[in-house]
C-alpha cells in the first residue's frame, strides 16, 4: 500500500516502479495535492492517467474518476491492482455490475479501502449514486476524456454537461482535474466554462508526437492496400479503423484470409466478446484489431506500431486521438489514412437530418479533415495548427508523406494580396468557399444573393484555377495571415500579420495542393484492380501474342481467352501460380484452369529472366464481399428463374443483374441462359450475333451495334448474346 508520508518520487518508484516523471506530471500532481483545480491537455501517450492515479493514492479519501468507457475503466482498475495494490484499492461503478457486485464496491468504498472509484457519467447522475457519494470523503474528481463536454469536440456526450451540477450536489469545494488528449482552443474554453474552473491551473503539453509518421493516400483498392501494408509489417501490432460495422467485418475477414491474425471490434458484438478481443490484443494473441472508433480509448498498449484509417474520420480530434494510439512507447508509429471524396459525401449525408446548428458545426469540423487530406503542406504543421500550436515544418524531419514528396511551389504575393483585400472589402463576413467562388467567378445562389457577382473582383482569379486559391487560403491560415472565427461558422478574419501584409506586401511562396485523383467506390468490384506498379508494356505485348496464338489454335477470338484488363493486371502483379492468377480480375477458377498454364509459365520465365521483384500484394486473397450474391444468381439461373425476378428479389436493376451475370461468366463460370434468351431474342437474331462475335476483333457492344445495325438490335440483346457466347466458348 502507498504511504502518504513518502516523497512523490518514493511513491512513484514504490508503487509504479518508475524512476522519473514524464513531462509536467510532477507539477500537475503537486498542484492537485495542493487542492487546486487543474486542467491537463496532454497528447495520447503522455501519461495522463498517472496525473490522477498517484495523487489519489496519496490523498485521504476516495478520488472519483469519471470515464466514458467501461473497457477503459476495467483496464485501468486491473492495472492498478496488478501494480501491487489490493483488489479493493480501485473499483468501477457502472451498468455492467450485478447488484451483489455493486454492493461489494460500495462496502469497500465506505470502509475507506478504495482510493480510486471509476464512474461512468450516466451512473454518476443517478440519484442513488449521488446519495451514496455524499456519504464518503471525496479527495478530488478527475474528469477523463473531458473533450466530451463540448459540442465542438469530436465525441460530444450530453451527460458530460451535467457533471458540474452533480459534483456540487455531492459536496462543496471538491477540487476538479479535467484531462484530455485532444482539444482545440474552442473546446478548451468550453470545458473550463462548463466545469466552472476558469481559475484552474492549465498544463498544456505540445501536441507534437515526433515519432509518428503521417501519410494520406487516395482510396484505391483499399482492402488490398491494407493487407499489403500489414503483411509488410508482419509480427507488429496495429489497429485498422473503419466507420461502419459492416466494413470492420469485411476487412477483418480479408486479413484472416491472408494469414493475418485479426479480430473485429464494434458495438454490435456482445460485451464479453469485446472484452475478450481487447485482452487478446493486449496479450498479443492477435496482431491486428479492425474496429470502429470505440476501440482504444485508455487502452494501455504502448507498442502499437501502426494505425490505419480505412475511412477518414469525421474530425481532426478523432484523427489525432486515434493516430495517437501508435508508438506510445516512443518507438515506431505509422499513421496511414485513405481518403475518398465519396466517403466525405457519405459523412455529409449522415448530417443532413440533424438540427441546423449541429449540422453547421459538423460541416466545419469535417471541412478541416478535407483540407488536411488534400493539402500538400507538412501534415504535422496542419495538425498542430488545428490545436492552436505553431510549428516550423523544418522540424518534421521528413516524418510525413508531404515533407518527403516533391512539391510544386508558386509565388503567391499578388494572389494573397487579392484574397486578403477581398476579405477585408466584404467585411470579414464570409468563409473560404465563398471567397474562392467570387474569385473563380462562380455565380452560385449565395454569391448571387449578396450581389457579389457584380464586384470587380468576380472572376478575377479564374485564370489561376480553383486549386491555387484553395491552396493559398489554407496556407494563409496556417501562416497566420488569416484566422477562422469558429463561433461564426468559419468566417475568415484578417490577423495583424494579414493587415500588415496589405500595407507592406512582400514576396511569399506557397505550395500547390496535390490533386488526390479519382478514387474507387470502395463497395464496387467492377473493373480491373490496380496495384503493383506501372504497366509492364513489354510483358503485355508478349501476353497478347500468346493469347493470339492460343486463340488461333482453338478457333476463338482472343478476348474469349482473357480480356485486355486481365492481361494488363497480370503486367503489374506478375502471377506465377494458379492461386495468384485467380486473384486477377476477370480470371476465376474456371478460366485459370482452362487457359492459365501457358500464361503462368511465360510470366514466371519473364520474372526470372528480368530479375523482377514482384509486388507483395499479389498473393492477397479477396474477401469477395459479393460472393453470396453470385452464388444466389448461379443457383437461380440453374432453376431457370427469370433474370428480372432474380434482380427484383435482391433489390437490383435489370442492368445491374446483367453486369453481375457477365462478371460471373467472364471469370470462367459456365451459365446456361438459353431458357431466358430464347424467350427474349428470335433464333435468327441469335445466330447472327453469335456469328459476329466469332470473327470480332474485340467484345465491344458499341462496335457490335455499329456492325449489326442499332436499328435491328438493342444493347440488351447484344449483351445477352455476348454472355451466351463467352459462356459456351470460353468456359
Inside any domain, residue 363: no
555 and 609 both lie in a single domain: yes
266 and 290 both lie in a single domain: yes
419 and 477 both lie in a single domain: yes
605-611 average pLDDT score: 88
Q: What does residue 267 show for φ and ψ, rounded to 5 degrees? A: -65, -15
83 and 191 both lie in a single domain: yes
Confidence (pLDDT) at 613: 76
Inside any domain, residue 125: yes
64 and 25 both lie in a single domain: yes
Inside any domain, residue 163: yes
User: What is the C-alpha to C-alpha distance for residues 246 and 122, in angstroms, rounded to an integer?
Assistant: 28
Which helix (H) or strand (E) segment is 435 a member of? helix 432-440
In the chain, % of residues over pLDDT 70: 92
Sheet strand arrangement including 304-309: 212-218, 333-339, 304-309, 237-241, 288-291, 262-265
Give residue 524's pLDDT band: very low, low, confident or very high (50, 70, 90). Answer: very low
What one-character-per-residue DSSP string does 680-731 give?
Answer: HS-HHHHHHHHHHHHH-SS--HHHHHHHH-TTT--HHHHHHHHHHHHHHHH-
pTM tops 0.75, yes or no: no
Instruction: Please determine, for residue 1, whether its predicted confidence score (pLDDT) is greater than 50.
Output: no
Give residue 32's pLDDT band: very low, low, confident or very high (50, 70, 90). Answer: very high
* Spatial CB neighbours of 188, under 8 Å, sequence gap ≥ 6: 39, 41, 202
**With helix as H, strand as E and coil as C, how does 414-427 read?**
HHHHHHHHHHHHCC
Instruction: Please determine, for residue 270, whether its predicted confidence score (pLDDT) is greater than 60.
Output: yes
Size (the chain), residues: 731
Confidence (pLDDT) at 522: 46
Confidence (pLDDT) at 85: 64
CATH number at residue 695: 1.10.10.1390
Inside any domain, residue 93: yes
pLDDT in tens, 119-167: 988 888 889 989 999 999 999 999 998 888 887 766 677 888 889 999 9
717: cell is: 440483346
Mark which of 560, 591, 619 sits at the end of a domain.
619
309: cell is: 484509417
Instruction: Please determine, for residue 692, whether its predicted confidence score (pLDDT) is greater than 90.
Output: no
Reduce the DSSP state of residue 382 to 3 states and report it: helix
Give residue 529's pLDDT band: very low, low, confident or very high (50, 70, 90). Answer: very low
| Closest by Cα among 115, 136, 150, 168 to 3 | 115
Give the chain's mean pLDDT. 85
Alpha helices (H) in 463-512, listed in sequence order: 466-478, 496-503
Which residues pair with residue 203 across a beta bridge? Answer: 40
Confidence (pLDDT) at 361: 77
Inside any domain, residue 519: no
pLDDT in tens, 336-390: 999 988 888 777 777 777 777 777 778 888 888 988 998 999 999 999 998 888 8
21 and 168 both lie in a single domain: yes
Give residue 334's pLDDT band: very low, low, confident or very high (50, 70, 90). Answer: very high
pLDDT in tens, 181-217: 877 888 888 899 999 998 999 998 888 999 999 999 9
pLDDT in tens, 616-631: 544 555 554 456 778 8
What one-character-per-residue DSSP string does 241-253 give?
Answer: E-SSHHHHHHHHH
10 Å CB burial of residue 382 (0-12, 13-18, 19+) is buried
Confidence (pLDDT) at 321: 85
313 and 349 both lie in a single domain: yes
Please tell me the total count of domains within the chain.
5
435 and 488 both lie in a single domain: yes
Confidence (pLDDT) at 528: 34
User: What is the C-alpha to C-alpha distance for residues 153 and 159, in angstroms, rounded to an integer?
Assistant: 14
pLDDT in tens, 36-53: 999 999 877 678 888 999
Instruction: Please determine, for residue 526, whether its predicted confidence score (pLDDT) is greater than 70.
Output: no
471-477 average pLDDT score: 92
Confidence (pLDDT) at 117: 93
163 and 47 both lie in a single domain: yes
The residue ranking higher by pLDDT, 414 or 628, is 414
User: What is the C-alpha to C-alpha distance for residues 599 and 542, in angstroms, rounded to an integer?
Assistant: 10
Greatest CA separation for the chain = 101
Give residue 519's pLDDT band: very low, low, confident or very high (50, 70, 90). Answer: low
User: What is the C-alpha to C-alpha distance for residues 587 and 565, in angstroms, rounded to an integer?
Assistant: 10
194 and 45 both lie in a single domain: yes
Instruction: Please determine, for residue 708, whether its predicted confidence score (pLDDT) is greater than 90.
Output: no
Inside any domain, residue 402: no
Instruction: Please determine, for residue 79, whether its predicted confidence score (pLDDT) is greater than 70.
Output: yes
**224 contacts 585 by C-beta, under 8 angstroms:** no
Mark which of 153, 186, 204 sits at the end of a domain.
204
437 and 500 both lie in a single domain: yes
CATH number at residue 336: 3.40.50.300
246 and 326 both lie in a single domain: yes
Instruction: Please determine, for residue 17, whether its predicted confidence score (pLDDT) is greater than 50.
Output: yes
Lowest mean pLDDT among 7-11, 162-166, 572-576: 7-11
Lowest mean pLDDT among 272-286, 471-485, 512-526: 512-526
Give residue 555's pLDDT band: very low, low, confident or very high (50, 70, 90). Answer: confident
**722 contacts 699 by C-beta, under 8 angstroms:** yes
263-291 average pLDDT score: 89
pLDDT in tens, 297-315: 546 688 999 999 999 988 8
Question: 569 is in which domain, residue-wise?
Answer: 537-619
Instruction: Please determine, for residue 177, whether its predicted confidence score (pLDDT) is greater than 70.
Output: yes
Mark which of 146, 178, 204 sits at the end of a domain.
204
CATH number at residue 582: 1.10.150.80
691: cell is: 456469328
Inside any domain, residue 244: yes
Inside any domain, residue 517: no
Confidence (pLDDT) at 517: 56
Which helix (H) or strand (E) segment is 179 a member of? strand 176-180
CATH number at residue 442: 1.10.10.10
Confidence (pLDDT) at 704: 85
The residue ranking higher by pLDDT, 672 or 12, is 672
**177 contacts 38 by C-beta, under 8 angstroms:** yes
Amino acid at each position: 500500500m502507498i504511504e502518504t508520508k513518502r516523497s512523490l518520487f518514493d511513491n512513484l518508484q514504490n508503487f509504479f516502479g518508475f524512476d522519473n516523471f514524464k513531462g509536467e506530471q510532477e507539477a500537475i500532481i503537486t498542484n492537485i495535492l495542493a487542492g487546486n483545480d487543474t486542467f491537463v491537455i496532454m497528447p495520447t501517450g503522455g501519461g495522463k492517467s498517472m496525473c490522477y492515479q498517484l495523487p489519489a493514492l496519496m490523498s485521504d479519501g476516495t478520488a472519483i474518476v469519471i470515464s466514458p468507457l467501461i473497457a477503459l475503466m476495467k483496464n485501468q482498475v486491473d492495472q492498478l491492482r496488478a501494480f501491487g495494490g489490493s483488489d479493493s484499492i480501485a473499483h468501477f461503478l457502472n451498468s455492467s455490475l450485478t447488484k451483489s457486485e455493486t454492493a461489494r464496491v460500495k462496502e469497500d468504498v465506505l470502509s475507506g479501502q478504495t482510493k480510486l472509484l471509476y464512474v461512468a457519467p450516466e451512473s454518476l447522475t443517478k440519484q442513488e449514486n449521488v446519495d451514496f457519494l455524499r456519504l464518503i470523503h471525496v479527495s478530488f474528481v478527475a474528469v477523463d476524456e473531458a473533450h466530451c463536454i463540448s459540442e465542438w469536440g469530436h465525441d460530444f456526450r450530453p451527460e458530460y454537461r451535467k457533471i458540474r451540477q452533480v459534483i456540487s450536489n455531492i459536496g462543496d469545494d471538491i477540487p476538479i482535474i479535467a484531462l484530455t488528449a485532444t482539444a482545440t482552443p474552442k473546446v478548451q474554453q468550453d470545458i473550463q466554462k462548463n466545469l466552472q474552473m476558469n481559475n484552474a491551473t492549465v498544463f498544456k503539453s505540445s501536441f507534437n508526437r515526433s515519432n509518428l509518421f503521417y501519410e494520406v493516400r487516395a482510396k484505391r483498392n483499399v482492402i488490398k492496400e491494407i493487407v499489403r501494408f500489414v503483411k509488410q509489417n508482419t509480427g507488429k501490432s496495429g489497429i485498422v479503423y473503419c466507420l461502419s460495422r459492416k466494413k470492420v467485418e469485411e476487412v477483418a475477414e480479408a486479413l484472416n484470409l491472408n494469414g493475418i491474425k485479426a479480430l473485429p471490434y464494434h458495438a454490435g458484438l456482445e460485451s464479453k466478446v469485446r472484452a475478450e478481443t481487447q485482452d487478446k490484443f493486449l496479450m498479443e494473441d492477435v496482431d491486428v484489431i479492425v474496429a470502429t472508433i470505440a476501440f482504444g480509448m485508455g487502452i494501455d498498449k504502448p507498442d502499437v506500431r501502426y494505425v490505419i484509417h480505412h475511412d477518414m474520420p469525421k474530425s481532426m480530434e478523432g484523427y489525432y486521438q486515434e493516430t495517437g494510439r501508435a508508438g506510445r512507447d516512443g518507438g515506431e508509429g505509422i499513421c496511414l489514412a485513405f481518403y475518398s471524396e465519396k466517403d466525405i459525401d457519405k459523412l455529409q449525408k449522415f448530417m443532413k437530418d440533424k438540427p441546423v446548428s449541429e449540422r453547421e458545426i459538423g460541416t466545419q469540423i469535417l471541412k478541416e479533415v478535407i483540407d488536411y487530406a488534400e493539402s500538400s503542406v507538412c501534415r504535422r504543421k496542419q495538425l498542430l495548427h488545428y490545436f492552436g500550436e505553431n510549428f516550423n515544418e523544418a522540424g518534421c524531419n521528413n516524418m510525413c508523406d508531404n515533407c518527403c514528396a516533391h512539391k510544386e511551389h508558386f509565388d503567391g504575393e499578388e494572389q494573397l494580396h487579392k484574397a486578403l483585400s477581398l476579405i477585408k472589402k466584404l467585411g470579414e463576413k464570409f468563409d473560404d468557399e465563398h471567397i474562392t467562388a467570387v474569385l473563380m467567378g462562380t455565380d452560385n445562389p449565395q454569391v448571387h444573393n449578396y450581389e457579389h457577382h457584380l464586384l470587380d473582383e468576380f472572376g478575377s482569379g479564374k485564370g489561376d484555377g480553383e486549386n491555387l486559391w484553395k491552396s493559398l487560403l489554407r496556407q494563409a491560415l496556417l501562416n497566420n495571415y488569416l484566422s477562422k472565427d469558429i463561433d461564426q461558422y468559419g468566417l475568415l478574419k484578417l490577423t495583424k500579420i494579414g493587415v500588415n501584409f496589405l500595407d507592406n506586401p512582400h514576396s511569399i511562396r506557397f505550395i500547390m495542393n496535390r490533386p488526390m485523383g479519382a478514387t474507387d467506390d470502395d463497395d464496387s468490384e467492377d473493373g480491373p484492380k490496380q496495384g503493383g506498379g506501372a504497366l509492364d508494356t513489354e510483358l503485355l505485348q508478349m501476353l497478347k501474342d500468346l493469347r493470339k496464338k492460343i486463340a488461333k489454335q482453338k478457333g476463338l477470338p482472343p478476348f474469349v481467352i482473357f480480356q485486355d484488363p486481365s492481361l494488363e493486371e497480370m503486367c503489374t502483379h506478375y502471377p506465377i501460380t494458379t492461386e495468384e492468377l485467380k486473384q486477377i480480375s476477370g480470371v476465376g477458377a474456371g478460366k485459370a484452369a482452362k487457359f492459365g498454364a501457358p500464361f503462368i509459365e511465360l510470366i514466371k520465365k519473364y520474372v526470372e529472366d528480368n530479375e523482377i521483384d514482384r509486388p507483395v500484394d499479389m498473393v492477397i486473397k479477396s474477401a469477395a464481399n459479393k460472393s453470396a450474391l453470385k452464388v444466389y444468381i448461379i443457383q437461380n439461373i440453374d432453376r431457370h428463374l427469370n433474370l428480372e425476378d432474380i434482380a427484383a428479389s435482391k433489390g437490383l436493376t435489370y442492368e445491374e443483374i446483367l453486369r453481375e451475370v457477365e462478371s460471373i461468366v467472364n471469370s470462367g463460370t459456365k451459365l446456361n441462359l438459353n431458357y431466358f434468351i430464347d424467350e427474349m431474342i428470335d433464333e435468327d437474331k441469335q445466330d447472327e450475333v453469335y456469328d459476329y462475335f466469332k470473327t470480332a476483333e474485340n467484345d465491344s457492344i458499341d462496335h457490335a451495334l455499329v456492325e449489326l445495325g442499332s436499328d435491328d438490335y438493342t444493347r440488351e440483346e447484344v449483351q445477352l448474346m455476348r454472355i451466351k457466347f463467352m459462356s459456351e466458348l470460353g468456359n
